Structure 1
Amino acid sequence: MKIDDWLIVQRDNGPLLCSIPHAGTSIPEEYARDFDSPWHATRDADWWMPELYGFLKDMGATIVRTEISRSVIDVNRDPSGTSLYPGMATTGLCPDCDFDGAPLYRSGFEPSQSDIERRRQAFHEPYHAALSQEISRLRKLHPAILVYDCHSIRSTIPRLFPGILPNMNIGTNEGKSCGAGLGEMIRTICEASEFSCVLNGRFKGGWITRAHGRPADGVHAVQMELACRSYMDEPQSGLNEGNWPPAWNPERAAAIQRVLRTVLTEAMSWIGTPKETWANDV
């Protein structure tokens, strides 16, 4: 099902709902002229998330994703504009700078408060309404479900975090967005792999995880933030239009895909949804 060509819902009946909020690179024409360049406005996208998680179709997963660039509006931010990480550098609901702190807009063309409100109503509200609708639908089919929020980010961004980010960054809002022990179980799987990992480190889960995770109601939410080097070849020098983003390479991504599939399989079993209930005809 496609809604207005920007909000995409791929519906299935398993107990897994996957959100892909930052892979979009579409910028409506009314906003495009205000950015300093189309490349810059899409540079910080979570590249190749639909391709990386292509195996979800075999797991009976429902997927909600947006084609809108996070530079237009970030549907994983608190709609009030309140920072999810007080005291730390981050980007806002309608960011005026990129991850490195460089301005995204031409001088004087930054979105006003009324612009932000219009974008919130046009994109943020429908995205979360779609998530809520699918959560309600799937909960009628299963005693518990997993909301899994898919993300990626460059491995080195000094403004946001020191050093090199671990490959796999698991966020459960300090254990509030899912049942006790689920985050630790996922961490154990990741630690047994070739990839480095951390639980509730720099990325503890954004607004999607925090707003929709209700473990007492059978809705367990987890964010997975992957360092881009986990599945593609990050440039060794500065980013430019010639080297970013690297092309999608399924062979390069295969190793992390195996770990991600195991994480999701074991997480669904952990929340009490046996594999035989994942079929499409529940």
Structure 2
Amino acid sequence: MSGSKDSDGGWKKFLWNSEKKEFLGRTGCSWFKILVFYLIFYGCLAGIFVGTIQAMLLTLSKDKPTYQDRVAPPGLSHTPRSDKSEIAFKKTDPSTYSKHVESMKEFLKPYNDSLQINENFEDCGEAPSTYRDRPAESGKDDRKKSCKFLRRWLQECSGINDENFGFSEGNPCVIIKLNRIVNFRPKPPSNDTLPAELQGKVEPNTIPIHCKPKREDDHKSIGDIKYFGLSQGFPLQYYPYYGKQLHSHYLQPLVAVQFFNVTMHKEIRIECKAFGENIKYSEKDRYQGRFDIKLTVS
């Protein structure tokens, strides 16, 4: 075992040399200097990192995004939501549609008239009008007022007169909203970009919504499609949205769609689209500016 450090206690002496008072080959003073060096070194690195983050935060606003150049167009979403966007129910069996009814009631709670009577809301009219800018006023709270959107404007799909939203009659309602994007101003479409069913019929200052069967052979499987709200779309006076900090009581405008005379026991695929100059569609995101639902009534 010649050459082995264990044979002459070399390893033990390396760990602790009692003659020179060294631990792992260094004296206490040497270890102290190394410890102080690395404390200062990593402390400086941490300080630079924290300082950089703080400097970056100073360039950001808590009220609105600093950069929005890569924000996708808004999504179009609907209530009730379900797995795989399937709305299937039996109109004579409330247990098959009760979850849809409850989700719609919960969604519409903020739109009750009684919650829109304080100073956070203002009457913006019951007809579509242009954008409603709310610039900051010096010496005043920067928080913005919100336009009222009353639940009763959804008429047959408000849940006020028919608490089952048409499900018990086999004429279900779907409530549609355009998802929020801070400072986004949806631009109305030109007439030639609209489907034939909407051309010449869209009110000014409106982002129209249109729903139809997606498959050609389903067009005879559904009767009337009626729209409820301030118009057949989203009025511009509800835009822009200023974000949660400034616009904490904001209510999105809604459009309710009700489907009548649906062919029983048949799955019908329906596509709903929002139309606007700056509302685009994507094959990768099926909710960008549109959505599909599969409707089955039995």
Query: Smaller-chain TM-score range?
Result: under 0.3
Higher strand proportion: 2
Higher helix proportion: 1
TM-score by length of 1: 0.27
